[in-house]
Structure 1
Amino acid sequence: MIDLQVRTELGDIVARSSGFDWTQELIDLDRSTYPLLSGLCAYLDTVFNQRQVPMLLEELDRLPPGSVLNEESRSEIRRLCVLVSERSHHYLWFVGD
């Protein structure tokens, strides 16, 4: 399970989500098509800043419906991306095990 968090630059958690399950489809994403999503790792934390969030959202929009991430997971990622994009010095964290 990968948890999602929005943190300030000081590390304070301002929002979180239950995240999503790690799947083989996520592992197998083409790096040239999905450079940000393919960089996620179940065992590592991955952080996206305010400038990267729009690119992450574009990648989410390109995923075929019903593949890799279910709609609930996509909605939660989008919700947290909006928080990051609206606030200075906030980051989206994908927290691995």
Structure 2
Amino acid sequence: MAVRGDSGNVVASAEAGVEWAAGFADLDPAEFPMLSALDPYGDAVFNQRQMPMLRAELKRLPAGLGGDWVGQARELCQVVERGLHLYLWFIGD
């Protein structure tokens, strides 16, 4: 995970990555529209306006899908919200 600006420059990054589990495939897209967009093999990019919804989803994520990455994702959401023209990237393999 990383926060990047319009030019692609990395502003902040996480030490942990998303801990992929089979439960991610079971997330209901109606309840988790942001997190259900994550793909272990592709990138997902979220803008400043999407941060409140993403933070809310991270807060109610089932415990089995949590880990260090969740707290770091929340911190990166705050970086995006405080800045201009910043995006949170979930980077797949």
- The answer to whether the superposition gives a TM-score over 0.5 is yes
TM bracket, shorter-chain basis:
over 0.9
How many residue pairs end up in the alignment?
A: 92
Paired amino acid for 1:82:
Q
Distance of 1:67 and 1:5 partners within structure 2: 23
* % identical aligned pairs: 45
RMSD of aligned C-alpha atoms?
A: 1.0
Give unmatched runs, 5+ long, in structure 1.
none
Q: Aligned runs of 1:1-97 on 2, under 5 Å?
A: 4-17=1-14, 18-64=16-62, 66-70=63-67, 72-97=68-93
TM-score by length of structure 1 reads 0.89
Flag as ranges the 4+ runs of structure 1 deviating above 2 A: none
Give unmatched runs, 5+ long, in structure 2.
none
TM-score by length of structure 2 reads 0.93
**Larger % of helix: which?**
2
- Please give the secondary structure, in 1, of the residue aligned with 2:49: coil
